[in-house]
Structure 1
Amino acid sequence: MLDPYELTVHTLTLRQLGSAEQLAEINALPIGDVEDALEKAVADGAVMAARGNYMITPAGRAVLDGVYPRAFADLRSDPAITEAMDSFETGVNKQVLALTTDWQTVEVDGTRVSNDHADADYDNKIIAKLGRVHEKTQKVLRPLAHRDPLVDRFLDRIGAALIRAEGGESDYVSGVRVDSVHTVWFQMHEHILRLTGRERPE
């Protein structure tokens, strides 16, 4: 697995720009460890700092490209992980993408138009479906979660976003300014792709 330095740099591939606090929220490291790692990564040229936020550099990406095969060799050779990823990509991931489209748009006279969210029943059905997919995803990714606790953390964060969406905070379905279902799902997907050495499907 990744040491705190590597994990902090890795987290910047999941969130393109972020503060130490935002990175710690994703990777579950103590904030002091994240700050120390960022200070070293900036000195190494692996990360750039700008007004309290950080982003990975090409040099940082090159470092990770060398780290991943070593850190995740056993995980990548595990048939149970391969099976879990196949199920994820062909099943729940496609369902979440489709439901996100259904959330953002509605069909009117055979044409897709932006959803103005005036129909609460329609929106609530989408949120309920996302909840069922979330439950299914917990089972699908169980082999990965056994090997990497961050997978469970992502799933918990998606669950927290769903609770807020169910409570009427609609931004928590696909909003980009909050840790919405869609935002955290994207981060989780990128994380497990990097663990397993896969490319994001087109």
Structure 2
Amino acid sequence: MLDPYELTVHTLTLRQLGDAGQLAEINGLTFADVEAGLEKAVSEGAVLAARGSYMITPAGRAFLDGVYPRAFAAPRADSAVSEAMDAFETGVNKQILSLTTDWQTVEVGGDRVPNDHGDPGYDAKIIEKLGRVHEKTAKVLRPLSAADPLVERFLERIGTALTRAEGGEIAYVSGVRVDSVHTVWFQLHEHILRLTGRERPE
């Protein structure tokens, strides 16, 4: 698995720009560990600092490309992980993408138009479906969760976003300024692609 320094740099592949607190929320490290990792990464040219936020550099990506094969050797060699990833890509990931489209648009007269969220019943059905897919995803990704606790952390964060959406904070479905279901799902997907050494499907 990744050590704290490697994990800090890796987190900037999941969130393109972030401060130490935001990165710690994603990776579960202490704020102090993330700060120390960022300071080292900046000094080594792996990360660029800008007004309290950080972004990975090409050198940082090259560093991680050398780290991943060693850090993730065991899960990459595990057939159960490979099968789980196949099931994720062909099943729940496609369902989430479809439900996100259904959330953002509605059908009117045979055409898809932006959802103005004026129909609470329609929105509630989408959130309920997202919840069912979330439960299924936890089962599908069980081999990955067993191999890497960060996978479970992503699933918990998606659950938190769903709870807030169910409570009326609908930005937590697909909003880009909060840790919404859509935002955290993207981070989860990016993480498990790097974990398994796969490319994002077109």
Distance 1:2 1:158 in 2: 22
Question: Which residue does the alignment assign to 2:50?
Answer: 50
Q: TM-score, normalised by structure 1?
A: 0.99
Q: CA deviation at 1:129?
A: 0.1
4+ aligned runs moved over 3 Å, structure 1: none
Q: CA deviation at 1:65?
A: 0.5
Distance 1:96 1:62 in 2: 31
Q: Give CA-to-partner distance per residue, 1:23-76, whole Å, 9 cap, x none.
A: 000000111111001000000000000010000000000000010011111110
Are 2:122 and 1:142 equivalent residues in the alignment?
Answer: no
Q: CA deviation at 1:184?
A: 0.3
Distance 1:123 1:29 in 2: 35
Distance 1:30 1:172 in 2: 25
Task: Give the % identical residues.
Answer: 80
Question: Which residue does the alignment assign to 1:162?
Answer: 162
Matches within 5 A, 1:73-84: 73-84=73-84
Question: Which residue does the alignment assign to 1:70?
Answer: 70
Matches within 5 A, 1:60-139: 60-139=60-139
Q: Which runs of 5+ in 1 are unaligned?
A: none
Corresponding residue pairs, total: 202
Q: TM-score, normalised by structure 2?
A: 0.99
Q: Which runs of 5+ in 2 are unaligned?
A: none
Distance 2:74 2:20 in 1: 30
Distance 2:61 2:181 in 1: 26
Distance 1:148 1:79 in 2: 15
Question: Which residue does the alignment assign to 1:174?
Answer: 174
Distance 2:66 2:176 in 1: 31
Question: Which residue does the alignment assign to 2:28?
Answer: 28
Q: CA deviation at 1:153?
A: 0.5
